Structure 1
Amino acid sequence: MASSTHKLYHVHGCDSRQVLEHYLSDKAEMVFAEDSLIFPIQQLTRTFAGGHIKGDIIVDLSAGPLVHHLYAACEFFEHTIVLKVSDRCILEMKRWLDSRTGAFDWGHATKIHVETEGKSAQLQEKERKVREAAQHVMKCDLEKENMTDPIVLPPADCIISVTLLDFISKDQDDYIRYLRKFSGLLKPGGHLIIIGCLDRTYMMVGKDKFYALTYDEDFVRKALAGEGFVIDDCKVKKRTNVSDLCDYKGVIFIAAHKEK
């Protein structure tokens, strides 16, 4: 469990723009590009290109005001529903979706994606498609039985979650409890894509240190199996960058489906 000096992402909130600048920007001093941008984009592009993960609705349950992980998905789903625990994240994300002045520039991530797809001429078209697909951005309360109360969401064909479970779970039992809640949003046979960091204990955002759950690949595999998921793909990338901002040892990508 977190020490008293660690903040909790979903309780205390954090500076959403600093998260983007520290871990997802194109600044020269941003050392996480291979792990936070390139690896996820490559894995998502490959996974969705397989053609078996598609449908009407994909629900995004991710930490921070992230956009880059939605590029591949927007081609395969009619609607993208983005759920956030933080008002700050919602404001930051809507600023980009609505093309407002001062929005974070995701151009470098878009470039990585279209180059990965081999469609580098479609840079602006890709951003337009993501903006059109992700117009449903809502706040959620993870502790409620219906986390979007009073709105009841239709069952999703796919859920994608980037590092949210890492930060909201105080222990491994909590991780499984939230995983079960995520599963409840899915149709039978629906797909779940999880991207997380292995063996991490904290993340710095400015001067604030945020708690992160420590777990390994074996734990995630067992947790998914225990909740009725069949793993279709699992990739792990070992950390190569050097930074005191975050102490993870690797990044895990898992695609699974819910047994009917």
Structure 2
Amino acid sequence: MMDSSPRKLYHVHGFDSRQYLEHYCSDKPDMAFGEDILKFLIDDLRQLFTVGHINGDILIDLSTGSFIHHLYSASEFFKNIIVLKVNNRCIMELKRWVDERTGAFYWGHTSALHQEKEENSDQFEDNEGKVRSAIQHVVKCNLEKENMTDPLVLPPADCVISTVLLDVISKDQDDYIRYLRKFSRLLNPEGHLILIGCLDATYFTVGKDKFHMLTYNEDFVRKALVGEGFIIDYCNAKERTAVSDLIDYKAIMIIAAHKEN
């Protein structure tokens, strides 16, 4: 029997940011997404930033929740990271970690994953400290405004990275392309865009609440990027290994592109 109950929208209804992290990013033994959401993102983004010539002064992060593990490699190639959030609870959760306050979410297990394949892995390196130092601003944004951070005007970014946000704010494919266009306006003329998304998903769960996810495949994203004037540089998808009914994606995809002059 299909679930016909209405699904919430991430940017409209909000959610418990700590529970979201506990579900999808914790170090608990029963956390099912270690391979898909943690290890794959960390390993693949390390490879992408290292060989993809993606670097510069400013990186803007537009992602769901209060993720930081996708920024480990980015913090080695960008001097300044500006994080945009639509959810006040996610801002509070992230700032608690950035400021190293009591009760901040524990990310040590993801830092260890990042460190595993570093050449100097025998010498502990403070990956979390690098990210904290690179995060210059955590800014509330309104996705419906022409300038999402109004009245603040952001400098053009050398790179925008977005983890799953387009999936959860887009009601349909036209919405996805509309928001994609907004994200691309944050870039300088030769800037790079990195999208991390869930293929063929329909929902994700936080606590007792079920949230909408846009269903799409790799071909749709490729066509959307090309249609907005991007040249695709890299694409990799990992088939689902997680056994859980919290979310129903079939694969996790990372795709990188740059603007065509």
The residue identity in structure 1 corresponding to 2:217 is D
Q: Which position in structure 1 is the counterpart of 2:96?
A: 95
Q: Which position in structure 2 is the counterpart of 1:63?
A: 64
The residue identity in structure 1 corresponding to 2:85 is K
The residue identity in structure 1 corresponding to 2:59 is I
Q: What TM-score does the superposition give when structure 2 sets the normalisation length? A: 0.96
Q: CA RMSD in A?
A: 1.3
Q: Equivalent residue of 1:141, what SS?
A: coil
Q: Which position in structure 1 is the counterpart of 2:129?
A: 128
Q: Which position in structure 2 is the counterpart of 1:73?
A: 74
Q: Which position in structure 2 is the counterpart of 1:25?
A: 26
Using the TM superposition, give the Cα deviation of residue 189 of structure 1 relative to its aligned residue in structure 2, in angstroms. 1.3
Note the residue ranges of structure 2 that are not aligned, 5 or more in a row. Answer: none
Q: Equivalent residue of 1:135, what SS?
A: strand
Using the TM superposition, give the Cα deviation of residue 123 of structure 1 relative to its aligned residue in structure 2, in angstroms. 4.3
Q: Equivalent residue of 1:129, what SS?
A: helix
Q: Which position in structure 2 is the counterpart of 1:9?
A: 10
The residue identity in structure 1 corresponding to 2:53 is H
Q: Which position in structure 1 is the counterpart of 2:254?
A: 253
Is the 8 Å Cα contact of residues 78 and 133 (structure 1) preserved in structure 2?
yes
1:150 aligns with 2:151: yes
Using the TM superposition, give the Cα deviation of residue 116 of structure 1 relative to its aligned residue in structure 2, in angstroms. 2.6
Q: Equivalent residue of 1:233, what SS?
A: strand
Q: Which position in structure 1 is the counterpart of 2:181?
A: 180
d(CA) in 2 for partners of 1:122, 1:139: 37
The residue identity in structure 2 corresponding to 1:88 is R
Q: Which position in structure 2 is the counterpart of 1:225?
A: 226
d(CA) in 2 for partners of 1:210, 1:119: 41
The residue identity in structure 1 corresponding to 2:253 is I
Q: Equivalent residue of 1:200, what SS?
A: coil
Q: Equivalent residue of 2:205, what SS?
A: strand
Q: Equivalent residue of 2:154, what SS?
A: coil
Is the 8 Å Cα contact of residues 54 and 76 (structure 1) preserved in structure 2?
yes
d(CA) in 2 for partners of 1:47, 1:23: 23
Aligned pair in 2 of structure 1 residues 51, 243: CA closer, same or farther (>3 Å)? closer
d(CA) in 2 for partners of 1:216, 1:241: 19
> Structure 2 matches for 1:110-125, cutoff 5 A?
110-121=111-122, 123-125=124-126
d(CA) in 1 for partners of 2:136, 2:190: 25
1:35 aligns with 2:26: no
Using the TM superposition, give the Cα deviation of residue 120 of structure 1 relative to its aligned residue in structure 2, in angstroms. 2.8
Note the residue ranges of structure 1 that are not aligned, 5 or more in a row. Answer: none
Using the TM superposition, give the Cα deviation of residue 50 of structure 1 relative to its aligned residue in structure 2, in angstroms. 1.5
Hey, which bits of structure 1, 4+ residues long, moved more than 3 A? 121-124
Is the 8 Å Cα contact of residues 115 and 125 (structure 2) preserved in structure 1?
no
Q: What TM-score does the superposition give when structure 1 sets the normalisation length? A: 0.97
Using the TM superposition, give the Cα deviation of residue 240 of structure 1 relative to its aligned residue in structure 2, in angstroms. 1.4
d(CA) in 2 for partners of 1:177, 1:121: 46
Q: Which position in structure 2 is the counterpart of 1:202?
A: 203
The residue identity in structure 2 corresponding to 1:239 is R
Q: Which position in structure 2 is the counterpart of 1:105?
A: 106
Q: Which position in structure 2 is the counterpart of 1:238?
A: 239
The residue identity in structure 2 corresponding to 1:67 is I
Aligned pair in 2 of structure 1 residues 122, 138: CA closer, same or farther (>3 Å)? farther
Aligned pair in 2 of structure 1 residues 212, 123: CA closer, same or farther (>3 Å)? farther
Q: Equivalent residue of 1:187, what SS?
A: strand
Using the TM superposition, give the Cα deviation of residue 124 of structure 1 relative to its aligned residue in structure 2, in angstroms. 5.0
**Per-residue Cα deviation, 1:80-118 (whole angstroms, up to 9, x for no partner):** 000000000000000001000000000000000111323
Moved more, 205-214 or 125-134: 125-134
Matched residues, number: 259
